[in-house]
Structures are given as structure tokens and as C-alpha cells.
Structure 1
Amino acid sequence: MRACALLKTHSIMKLFCLAVLITACFFSCKSPDAKSPSRIEKRDEILKNIIPPKISENRKVLTDFGAKGDSLTNNKPAFDRVLKACKEQNGCRLIVPPGIYLINGPIHLVDNTCLELKKGAKLVFSTNSKDYLPLVPTSWEGTLIYNYSPLIYAYQVKNVAIIGEGIIDGNGKNGFSKWYDLQKPAQQLTRKMNHDGMPVKERLFGEGHYLRPQLIQFFECKNILIEGVTIANSPFWSVHFLKSENITARKVKFDAFNKNNDGFDPEYSKNILIEDIDFNNADDNVAIKAGRDHEGRKTAMSSENIIIRNCRFKGLHGVVIGSEMSAGVQNVFVENCGYGGYCKRGIYLKSNADRGGFIKNIYVNDVEFGDVEDGVFITSFYHGEGKGFETDIRDIFIENLKFKSASHAGLVIQGYPTKKVSNVNFTNVRIDSCVNGISFTNAEHIMFNNVVIGREMEVPTAVK
């Protein structure tokens, strides 16, 4: 009887375990018909959330407020007057007629405002640093601080646009760019404040610190359009999207050759379309960032849902992620882009073990470069610095990518010993001429499909 009871209990337990297993499968296993969305489906879902702001029909002409495009008159007061009127009337379309407009100080944009530069209009900013005081909330190389105002500054505004065929000249070569060799002490101080967690309101820079302001910055803004204008001679980064969302940038031209003259720098920002851009920068064309080190990890606001398409790259690097990306970068699509000239590197993902964070779900499709130093460079050892906060770099999908030549290296992956770069897919990649084809360290699950570096081999010759 005891044996029968034990046998019965054992059978019941087996049936119970089987029932649990079936139930777990029912709730956790995917249906055979279910499938993950394709790259195109993911991209198109993002595009649904990117809608340019509506332009106000309330038209104001800058010269009606005392401005003169004679390259001599200070037009800062005229801009202040017209923008005050725009704010009181809940927005406007501010039209700048042809002419050269000197501005001794920053332009601070307000809600529902479109700055339209007509063909032949040129804004030229002063070189006197005192014109850009008082200090404003901003950031510098991934650390939030108070500093000189960016030359065109939008802070906590919505529905704002900069459009037209005119030129925005930061006059950096004759002004702030001369500070590059003086910035090191303040640069190091920002990093110490970041690592120490000092309250942002106590991070006061400005006079005596030599940190150059950005040319254009949108900080905590929603619904942004920048279209058609030429951006030249920036003192520092050219266009900085900081903690902002729903951004459209198209048909912009860059002519920026000073130190650190990146084109677009999205940081802690999302839902961004960058298309049909002619880059010509002394630094990165697009550099996607997400805060630096301790502050970035604490903020935990990833840069995401970014589409870069139909652009022409020329400058230092084409598309860059990092190195300040401690809150993470994900869902980046680079599509149908070509080149307008030389780039040092084509696709460049850079981090180090001070950063942490992640870089994932990066898609590069149908992109062509000419002559470069390095084709694709993915590194966890940027500047050889850092410890304790390795970056998770994974799920990179590169398809239909071509280079004429790579004078240094074709494909480079440098993972970290304790955090390898993982799941990188190369499909239909061709480098016609290359010194060093492949260099992979601390990398795993790297997949190749139709990759040719150098001359493609044909039918093997037979023994004669």
C-alpha cells in the first residue's frame, strides 16, 4: 500500500510539473507566426513621430524694428524688440531681408517663432565675449554648466524654426576660436564637477574660463525645424540639440572649419530627422551624444530614434556616436548617403571605460564614401582612458557600404576585455583599396556576408 501511495504521488508530481511547463510555454513562447519588425518598419514608425512645427502667419520684418543690413549697425536691439513683440503675440515669422547684419550679442528665440533668412541675408556675430553675458544654462562636452550664451539660443521653447537661404556666420575665426589653446583648465574643471556630482547651479563659468559657446543651441525644446540655411564659421559646435525632441533638419549647408566645428550634435535627444545636408566641417558631420560619465549615467536619458538620410559627408568624420554617450544611444538609421569630399573616418563609434551606457540598434544602409583613413571604426578605448564603466556595444547592422580606399584600416572593432563588442553584421561591404583590412579584438558574434576588401577574387587559375 505504501509503495502504491508513493507511486501515485510521484505520478501526480510529474503531471503537475508538466502542467507548469506547458503553462510557462503558453505565456512566454512566441507564436510561430510572430516576427520582429523589420528595419524599415522600425524606421517608419519613428518617422510618424517627427512632424515639423507649423510656421506662424504673423509676419514681422526685422528692418521695421530699426535693423540695418549695412554690416556696421549693431542689430542686437532690433532683434530684442521684434522677439519681444513675437512673445507678446504668441509667436511670429521673423523675416530678415537681404543684407549683412552685425549682431553684438545672442539671439534668444521664443515660442512659436520662425527666423527666416532671405537669400542674400547674412547674420554676423560680434567677437566681444562680454556681449554673450549674462551666463545661461548650457552644457560643454557632455557636462551641464552655466556659460556664455550660445549665439542663437532657444531654451525651453516649443515650435521654433530657422529657415531660408541666408547665412549664419558665427565669426568664430576672429573671436572665440582663439580660446582653444586656453580652455584646458576649465575643461578639466567641468569634468571634475561632473564626477563629483556638484549641483549644476554652482557650475559657473564665463569670464576667465575660456569655454567657447555653441553657434546654435536648442535646450529642452520641442518641435524644431532648421532648413535651407548655410551655417559658417562657428566658434564651437555648430548646431547642438540638447534634451530636445521632434527635430527636423534638412537642406542645410555647412562651411565650418574652426576647432570642434561639428555639424549636428544631438545629445539626450530623440525623434530626429537629418536629411539632404551638405556637410563641410573641420570636425564630425553628425556626432550623437548622451552626456558624459557620472552625470550622463545619472541622467539616463538616451539619445534615440535618429534618422540620417540622403546626406553628403565631408569633413573629419561622417557619422559618429560618442564619445560622450553615457546615457546610451539607440535606434540610429543612416541611409542613402554619399560624400562631397574626404572624411578621415566614415562610421565611428567611440567610447571608453569612463562612460558606461550602451550603443545598440545601429543601422547603416546604402552609404558610400570616397577616400578615408578608416572605414568603420568601433572602439571601447577612446583616448585609451577609463576604468570601471565599460560600454555595452552591440547589435550593429551594416549593409551596402562602400569605400574607394582606406589608407589606414578598413574594419576595426576594439571591444573591452570584460565587455566585448557583440553582434555586428557586415553585409555587402566593399573597400576597393585598403592597407589593413580587418582588426578585431574583444569582439564576438561578428557576421560577414559578401564582404570584399581589396580586389575581388575571380575564378581560380588552373595548373598549366
Structure 2
Amino acid sequence: MFVSGAAAISVRMALAADSPVADREMAAVLARIQPPKFPDHKFEIVRYGAAADGHTDSSDAIRQAIEDCSAAGGGTVVVPRGTFLTAAIHLKSHTNLRLEEGAILRFYTDPKRYPLVYSRWEGTECMNYSPLIYAFEQTDIAVTGTGMLDGQANTEIWWPWKGNARSGWKAGMPEQKSDRDSLMAMGDKNVPVSQRVFGPGHYLRPPFVQPYRCTNVLIEGITIRNSPFWELNPVLCRNVTVRNVKIDSHGPNNDGCDPESCDGVLIDNCEFSTGDDCIAIKSGRNEDGRRVHTPCQNLVIRNCSMKDGHGGVSIGSEVSGDARNIFVDHCRMDSPNLDRALRLKSNTYRGGVFENIYFTNNTVGQVSEAVVDIDFNYEEGNGGPHNPQVRNVVVENVISAKSKYALYLRGFKNAPITGVRLANCNFKNVAQPNVIENVEGLKLEGVKRNGQPLTQ
């Protein structure tokens, strides 16, 4: 183990007991998260003129079915077996968009089919292209069933805007960098959101599914592939359930599920194989995140499978509004293309508080970097006025079969990482010593690395 800076490590080799406090708190969070219910009314899109041929524009039919469903007091908009081509879908209150077995919603790749809406892009609010499925300030909404959402993004459309060759970009093609820099500057200068206008003529890719300021959201059973950007991105929502969802999308920034500034989120029994973080918990970036000032809190992630990605569960880096009361339990993370299992990332420009993070009863097959990574040096690193803070991170009953590092913890001298406790963990086939820089109060209880007690 490599230790530098202010490090005070307490080691006890007795086996750790289960955490009754964490279990009780997780149960309390779960009790408050209830999926929405819908009246038993059905609105079949084919009755509105939708065609299951994969090339007829079904956008108007789907829109009208949703409007009629909501106006009637709610129900289910049914997408039957077949392939339906559509532009942006905007959900309305009391509406469940259900994809039956064999149904595919295939989305246009023409950016002009995605009108300007109020959105958040990498943690900064703006007016941008509509997400492929979007809802704004709605109540009781859902996307369910066993069908598929196909964004059709690839190295010819959407992904090249990332601006690297791996994503299909070539010299002379448009890319996102100048727009991204412009938006971040607007956020830091508190430019009114109505004046942060992107969309047509700009190159900020939209997320796939983004409920915004919604209450009672359910996403269940569907498969998602080929997203332009982040896959599932509830923002400023309350009471969100994501269950039995399969995500297989390996484009740039293809995060699987990114709850932002939400309160009460359950992610249960989902499968992720992604081009970025499988799950990334966020709460806004830099000054704009502090302006909105809403934490992401009371989340339970359980029984999930994470394969390819930058992190199994990441928190940050856009965490300026804080993140707390997060429970990751009984998940499996395993792929040579998965970088880390648990990752907390920030810097002195993001700041933010990470508090009450519980990573328990999880199995890690292999990751290419660290099992547990807490790093304050992400992107801009040190030099800003907002020191991130870590309080009460518990890693317990975790087994890992192969990794480069067991622990990779890097704070700052003026902002050390504090309050991290590991208990009853076994890290096998670890290639490199731990990296621990500027960490205070690290507790290791019954922890082994390569068969040996981890002492210092």
C-alpha cells in the first residue's frame, strides 16, 4: 500500500457484522418509493394510424394517442409487435407507454426532428434538442413492457459529435467542444437558462429518456440500444423506479442510468453494458449546480448486473448539489472492459458532499482499475475554491476476483478524504499496491488483499 499525506489508518482484523443501521435506513428509503398506477384504459397506436413497417412516420399517431390518454384521465398507450419509426415522444401525466413483446420504437436520426426543450446537459441547464423520450413537470408517467427502444445512433450520426475518431469523427466534421465550453461558461456566469440556446446549428447530443421535474416515474422491462448520449436521465424527479431494464449501448457518453438531483430512486434487477458509467449519480455542475442546489438523495441500487463501462456505480463528477443516502446492494460487476466497481469523482471546481454511501454485499468478478475509487483529481483537479467532502462511505461484504488496485483513494492536503470504512472484504489477484493519498480516518476491519490481512 502506498500512503502519502495525512493518512491515519485504523485496522482491526475481526470479522465485521452486518450493518443493521444501513439495512434499516435502506428499508425506509424503499418504503417511500412506490411506482405509479394507471387506469385500465388502452390507447393502441395502430388505431391512430401508426404503421409497423419500420419506415412510415408514426410520430403523429403516437403523439395523439398520448394526448388522448392523458385527457381521458390516464391509461396505457400500447405499442404492439412490429417496428415503428418516430421522432421525439413527449409523455404526459397519467400515461404509461407500453411496448409489447416484439415491439421496437426506432427513432429518427435527423436532429431537426427534436425540438428545443428545457433540459440539462452534463449538469448544466439549457435549451437543447429534445431527448428522444421526454416529459416536463408531469405526474405518473411510465415506459414499460418487453419491447425495445432503438436510438439508431452510430458512427455516422450523433456519435461523431463527440469529436474523436473512435466515435466516427473526421477532420472537418462538426463536434461538440465549442458548444460544451460555451454552455459551461454560461452556467458559471449565471446566464439565464432561456438564453442558453443550443439545438439546431449546435452539437450537444440529447439523452435518450429524460423525465424533467416529474413525480412518480416508472421505467420497466424495456431494452435500450444505440443512444445518442446518456440513456436514462431523470432530472429533479421524485419517486423514480427503474426495474428489469436491459441497456446495451457502447457509444460515447452512453451512461446507462444517470439520476440527477432526484429524491427517491430505485434501480432494481437491471443489466448494463455501456460506453461510459453503468450508473452515474449526479446533482449539477459547478456554479449552475450550486444555483439549482438540489442533491441527489435516497437511492437504492440492488440486484443489478454491470458489464462494460467506466464504472459500475459512479457518483459525480457533476455533484455540486451533493449526493447522500445511496445504497448499492447485492450487485454483480464483472468485465475486463469495466474500469471500476465503485467510483466517487469530483474536484475543487465541482465541490459537493458525498455522504452516507453504502456499498454492501456486492460481487466483483474483474475490473481493469480499482474496486473502490475515490478521486478528487478528476478533470480540472485542484485550484478551485470548492473542496469536495466525503463523509461515511461504507464498503462491506465485498468480494473481488481480479483488479489492478483494491483501493484508489486520492484527496488533497487541504481537503482530505474522511470517513471511509471497509469491513469483511476480500480482494483477490490484485496487481498493484493500494494508492492512498491524503486520507484521514480510514478503517479496515477484516479486509484481505491477495490472501493477506490488509494492515497498512
Name the structure where helix makes up a greater proportion of residues.
1
Q: Does 1:406 align with 2:403?
A: yes
Indicate the residue corresponding to 1:328 in structure 2.
322
Indicate the residue corresponding to 2:388 in structure 1.
391
- Superposed CA offset, 1:386-445 (max 9, x none): 4111111121011011211113x2201111211111010011111111122311111100
- Superposed CA offset, 1:436-460 (max 9, x none): 2311111100000111111347xxx
Does the 8 Å contact 2:51/2:84 carry over to 1?
yes
Q: Secondary structure at the match of 1:403?
A: strand
Provide structure 1 residue ranges, at least 5 long, that are not aligned to the other structure: 1-35, 458-464
Q: Secondary structure at the match of 1:172?
A: coil
Alignment of 1:186-201 (within 5 A): 186-201=179-194
Q: Secondary structure at the match of 2:251?
A: coil
Indicate the residue corresponding to 2:276 in structure 1.
283
Alignment of 1:233-248 (within 5 A): 233-248=226-241
- Distance in 1, matches of 2:24 and 2:270, equals 24
Q: Does 1:417 align with 2:410?
A: no
Q: Does 1:368 align with 2:363?
A: yes
- Distance in 2, matches of 1:192 and 1:417, equals 28
CA displacement at 1:61 relative to structure 2: 0.7
- Superposed CA offset, 1:131-170 (max 9, x none): 112x100011000000000000011101001111000001
Indicate the residue corresponding to 1:41 in structure 2.
24
User: For 2:106, which of 99, 124, 143 is the aligned residue?
Assistant: 124
Does the 8 Å contact 1:297/1:356 carry over to 2?
no
- Distance in 2, matches of 1:424 and 1:228, equals 35
- Superposed CA offset, 1:335-355 (max 9, x none): 011135341111100000001
CA displacement at 1:382 relative to structure 2: 0.4
CA displacement at 1:87 relative to structure 2: 2.6
Does the 8 Å contact 1:168/1:230 carry over to 2?
yes
CA displacement at 1:172 relative to structure 2: 1.1
Q: Does 1:221 align with 2:214?
A: yes
Matched positions, count: 419
The aligned amino acid for 1:97 is P
- Distance in 2, matches of 1:389 and 1:443, equals 18
- Distance in 2, matches of 1:76 and 1:226, equals 21
Q: Does 1:377 align with 2:373?
A: yes
- Distance in 2, matches of 1:443 and 1:300, equals 27
- Distance in 2, matches of 1:124 and 1:53, equals 26
The aligned amino acid for 2:262 is S
Q: Secondary structure at the match of 1:240?
A: coil
Indicate the residue corresponding to 1:272 in structure 2.
265
CA displacement at 1:328 relative to structure 2: 0.1
Further displaced range: 365-374 or 82-91: 82-91
- Distance in 1, matches of 2:105 and 2:397, equals 40
Indicate the residue corresponding to 2:44 in structure 1.
61
- Distance in 2, matches of 1:271 and 1:293, equals 23
The aligned amino acid for 2:158 is F
- Distance in 1, matches of 2:194 and 2:427, equals 50
Does the 8 Å contact 1:162/1:225 carry over to 2?
yes
Closer/same/farther in 2, CA of residues 340 and 118 from structure 1, 3 Å limit: farther
Provide structure 2 residue ranges, at least 5 long, that are not aligned to the other structure: 1-18, 164-174
- Distance in 1, matches of 2:227 and 2:183, equals 22
Indicate the residue corresponding to 2:177 in structure 1.
184
Identity of aligned residues (%): 35
The aligned amino acid for 2:328 is V
- Distance in 2, matches of 1:172 and 1:56, equals 35
Closer/same/farther in 2, CA of residues 72 and 246 from structure 1, 3 Å limit: same
Q: Does 1:262 align with 2:255?
A: yes
User: For 1:100, which of 83, 90, 98 is the aligned residue?
Assistant: 83
Indicate the residue corresponding to 2:12 in structure 1.
none
Closer/same/farther in 2, CA of residues 340 and 421 from structure 1, 3 Å limit: closer
More relative contact order, 1 or 2 (CA 8 Å, 6+ apart): 2
- Distance in 2, matches of 1:72 and 1:293, equals 43
Q: Secondary structure at the match of 1:47?
A: helix
- Superposed CA offset, 1:187-209 (max 9, x none): 00111001101011110001221
- Distance in 1, matches of 2:28 and 2:451, equals 39
CA displacement at 1:37 relative to structure 2: 7.5
Indicate the residue corresponding to 2:153 in structure 1.
172
Indicate the residue corresponding to 1:212 in structure 2.
205
User: For 2:53, which of 55, 58, 70 is the aligned residue?
Assistant: 70
Does the 8 Å contact 1:164/1:227 carry over to 2?
yes
- Distance in 2, matches of 1:261 and 1:250, equals 19
- Distance in 1, matches of 2:334 and 2:100, equals 25
The aligned amino acid for 2:37 is K
Q: Secondary structure at the match of 1:239?
A: coil
Q: Secondary structure at the match of 1:279?
A: strand
- Distance in 2, matches of 1:414 and 1:295, equals 25
CA displacement at 1:384 relative to structure 2: 4.3
Does the 8 Å contact 2:253/2:275 carry over to 1?
yes
- Distance in 2, matches of 1:101 and 1:146, equals 28
Indicate the residue corresponding to 1:111 in structure 2.
93
- Distance in 2, matches of 1:403 and 1:260, equals 26
User: For 1:352, which of 331, 340, 347 is the aligned residue?
Assistant: 347
Further displaced range: 328-337 or 379-388: 379-388
CA displacement at 1:383 relative to structure 2: 1.9
- Superposed CA offset, 1:260-287 (max 9, x none): 0001101010101101001111111110
The aligned amino acid for 1:150 is P
- Distance in 2, matches of 1:212 and 1:56, equals 35
